[in-house]
A and B are shown apart, each in its own frame.
Chain A
Amino acid sequence: MTTEAAPRLLEDTPLPPKAGGLYRRQNMWVGLVAGIVLAFIGWLISHALLQGSNWGTDMVVTVTMTCWVIGFNAGVGTFNGPFRWLTNDDQTAEDELYAAGVGQGAKRYFKFCTDHKVVGTQYLVLVMVLFAVGGTLAMMIRTQLITPHSSFMTPQLYNTVVTVHGICMIVATIIMVTGPFTNFIMPIMIGAKDMAFPRLNAASFWVVFSAVPCLLAVFFLGGVNAGWTTYAPLSVQDPPAMDTFALTILVFAASVTLAGVNIIVTIVTMRAEGMTMFRLPIFTWGSMLGSALGLYAMPAFIMAMVLMITDRATGTSFYVAAQGGTGWLWENIFWIMGHPEVYVILIPPVAAMLEVVVTFSRKPLFGYVIVIAALVAIDALSILVWAHHMFTTGWAPDLSGPFMLTTELISIPTGLIFLCVIGTLWKGRIWARLPMFFVYLFLWNFIIGGVTGIYLSDVPADGLFHNDMFVTAHFHYTLMGGAMIAATAALCYWFPKMTGKMLNERIGKIAFWIIAISFQVTYLGMFWEGFEGMPRRVAYYDPTFLHANQMATVGAYALIIGWLVLLYDVIHSWRNGTPAPANPWGAKTLEWKVPTPVPLENFLVEPVVTSDPYTYGEPEKEAPEPAAKPAHEPELIPGGGGT
């Protein structure tokens, strides 16, 4: 076998001028134009055909926004792969290299690019934009609530802002770790060159991207009055904005499903040699188990919204009692999705945070198998608890006891995960860098969030607090104070690998302290509101709740400043930060063994793994070393060949 002087990087492969085919002409801007054009055509045709018919407006909105989604995705290139399969015109090697971004420089970030690192970066930016939108809406809510009878927003606008804030944050938190970090880091972590289905990966990003205008259209189509949980039958009577809301969910759920399948298949089938399932870093397990739960939950979301659209646009009566339907059908299907969904949100960040705890305590993960067992138990139990959101609905009083049981049981595996965190800290060498700051904040916040959840799992106490600000405070403590803070730890941790720059820690620590303290002020204030008996989702409130609301609003303003300081830090460091070495943290997982910036195919030499990455303090077994094995398998290529 001939050897060249140095392995040629795949990204330097010169491509023939026609490589990529249609992809050469497709990008985000083409998608925008195609989407708008197709949406206009769809609107014209449906408006002409359906004008004046029953539910015509709902049908027109649904058709128009569907055309937008299809048009955008056609323009950006999502459908190229399936159609080339259909016509027996499979993509060649050069096509695939082009699709991976070879030769396109920074433009590949605005195209359908199959390189998982590009997709991860695209997701990171999208997540930040979603949090910016959701955060702005949150500030509008808190501004309204600074006095009991504010005229800052009309009730219609307030309800719509509450709704869009909710769904924006739900979407953002579902993808905040799985999008950027599972995509960018996980394949490298398992020793793979890319995800199992690189085109599906790019597709899942652009599909969710195309859902964002559908969501924003809510503000222009009359608004939604029903909260992000859009309970029927109220939502059945909402303006046409509800149709585009439903479509947003359908498109988003499709994206999450595609991504979830990709993640699980990658982890199960693409691990490097020697990387057995029980040598996998815990973040990989968390990504897989979170995605598996998402595959269970998303079909329920799709079902609920399809029935909603048919109720609104074709006159079915799934949710309308006068014609035999019931709001309880909506609530059951929704919460069958809604409870597992919070664990879809929580598990990947917690697993990412565990990697941070390990690296910054310089100790193995305490109870690695216990954590996996606990995550599996959480997955399984979370499927059985949904009706704890419905204790007060009156749908099945006899089932309250069993659901209380299953809900309280979830505290046991959750507690075991806490044990493993503090066991990892125990007698460690705690390195107080910025990622670790967020870990400690998570510990503080999630205890409060988790314990208050246990109150809600008790049926009599839930009778006091259901739909009260106590619930709002509880889930902000768990979802923002827990999941989002853990995701921030992950961002600070993997920032050097993803961007090639070190995150400025001085600014980061200022942001941290503002966030940490103002978060408590905001949401302890909200617990106070809840104890006093203030309902949630109200634009006006009784003056007895004034001081608690003032506390929460003041805290919220400080909190947004903290996040903005962190955002400034991210952007500033990304552009002007100190260049990062390949392994600034001295960590042992595989992503730190590859150079920064990471080559196109991640590994120049395919690694052979000999142990798990938690060998801190164990002098004999070194971390996985790349073996002297060529990256390509000559025997699989007829006729030999290769370097």
Chain B
Amino acid sequence: MTLTAEHGHEEAAGGEPPHGHHQSPAQRHRKEHLALWLFIGGDIVFFALTIFTWFYTRALNTNGMWRGASCTTANPCTDGLGNPLTHEVPTANPWYGVVVAVLIVVAAVLAWSAERSSVQRAGRSSITGASGMALVAVLAAVVVQCIEFGALPFTTVVGTYASTYEFFMGSTLAHALVLSFLALGFLVRSRAGRYDDGQWYQLRLYRIFAVWIAVSVCVLTFVSSVFT
């Protein structure tokens, strides 16, 4: 693959500028930057509703089944499969969530580092290195999240705390998978030298998105650990 600038296909087709590429990299960045913030705006709405779900069902505590505080061996409740529930649902181990959040924060920091290296034209290896480590961090977060699913002391059928907690985990996992797709792409593209010559635009977008995911995951971890 020839090394071309981000927008440069000018040599092709007899000098006729390409369809859709009439804009400079700065103009393209402006479009992509706005698009990213609009997506993040939608994700913020989703995130706000996730938090609302936690606090609303917790406050309502319908039938006492947020965590089943009144379920005892003497007076058992029933879980969603009809089995008796003889004790309050235990809380999940918060450290998994903390580790996942830390890993995503690390990934965001590495994304920022990659962007900075590109802006400062610090050389391909520093950009690629940061991108690669970001990918590792995000994949590690995915792995830890999957391990946590297996290590939970409850299943989805025992009340709303369990349901919402697992929903938080699923949301984090989904966002982390999106981040890992992007991280892989940036690793591949930076190795090919796309960001060597000061074309930091897409790395900035990645950094912004990774920071947003990191913030939202930290908040979710905090809420699910403290407000049990």
Contacts and interface: CB of A to CB of B under 8 A. Distances in A.
A contacts B: CB pair < 8 Å: yes
Interface of A: 8, 10, 13, 54, 82, 85-89, 92-94, 96-97, 100, 114, 193-194, 196-198, 257, 260-262, 264-265, 268-270, 295-296, 298-300, 302-303, 306-307, 310-311, 314-318, 320-326, 328-329, 332-333, 336, 600-601, 632-633, 636-639, 641-643
B38 A325 contact: no
Contacts of A322: 63, 65, 78, 80
B166 interface: yes
A315 B41 contact: no
Contacts of B35: 196-197, 261-262, 265
A323 B157 contact: yes
A299 B43 contact: yes
Interface string B2-17: 0001001110110111
Interface string B43-65: 10110011011001100111111
Contact of A296 (B45, B157, B166, B189): B45
B21 A299 contact: no
Nearest to A192: B22
Interface stretch (B26-34, B97-105, B123-131): B26-34
B174 to A, nearest CB: 10
A268 B34 contact: yes
Given A88-B189, A268-B34, A323-B157, A636 B43 contact: no
Which 10 interchain pairs have the tightest Cβ spacing?
A93-B18, A324-B65, A324-B160, A316-B163, A299-B46, A299-B45, A93-B9, A641-B15, A86-B185, A315-B157
B21 A317 contact: no
Contacts of B161: 324
B121 interface: no
A221 B185 CA distance: 40
A636 B24 contact: yes
B49 A641 contact: no
Contacts of A89: 1
Contacts of A328: 60
Contacts of B188: 86-88
Contacts of A633: 22
A295 B184 CA distance: 28
Contact of A632 (B22, B45, B157, B162): B22
Given A315-B80, A325-B163, 14 more contacts: A10-B16, A93-B18, A269-B27, A303-B46, A310-B163, A311-B163, A315-B81, A317-B80, A322-B80, A323-B157, A324-B66, A324-B161, A329-B53, A632-B17
A423 to B, nearest CB: 33
Nearest to B182: A86
B158 interface: yes
Interface of B: 1, 5, 8-10, 12-13, 15-24, 27, 30-31, 34-35, 38-39, 41-43, 45-46, 49-50, 52-53, 56-57, 60-66, 68, 78-81, 155-164, 166-167, 170, 181, 184-185, 188-189, 192, 194
A594 to B, nearest CB: 17
A296 B16 contact: no
A170 to B, nearest CB: 19
Q: State the main secondary structure of chain B at its contact with A.
A: helix
A32 B12 CA distance: 35
Contacts of A639: 10
Contact of A323 (B10, B13, B30, B159): B159
12 contacts: A87-B188, A88-B185, A93-B12, A196-B31, A268-B34, A299-B43, A299-B46, A318-B160, A322-B65, A326-B60, A642-B16, A643-B15
Nearest to B157: A315
Given A92-B12, A318-B57, A269 B31 contact: yes
Chain A CB within 10 Å — which of B19, B22, B30, B160 has the most? B19
A252 to B, nearest CB: 14
Contacts of A637: 10, 17
**Which one of A82, A86, A302 has the highest number of Cβ atoms from chain B below 10 Å of its Cβ?**
A86
A80 to B, nearest CB: 14
B183 to A, nearest CB: 10
Most-contacted residue by chain A among B20, B41, B188 (CB, 10 A):
B20
Contact of A303 (B50, B68, B80): B50
Nearest to B47: A299
B114 to A, nearest CB: 15
A507 to B, nearest CB: 39
A321 B63 contact: yes
B13 A93 contact: yes
A520 to B, nearest CB: 39
B30 A336 contact: no
B162 to A, nearest CB: 8
A260 B46 CA distance: 16
Nearest to B17: A632
A607 to B, nearest CB: 14
Contact of B13 (A13, A299, A643): A13
B9 A316 contact: no
B4 to A, nearest CB: 8
A110 B220 CA distance: 44
Contact of A265 (B1, B13, B38): B38
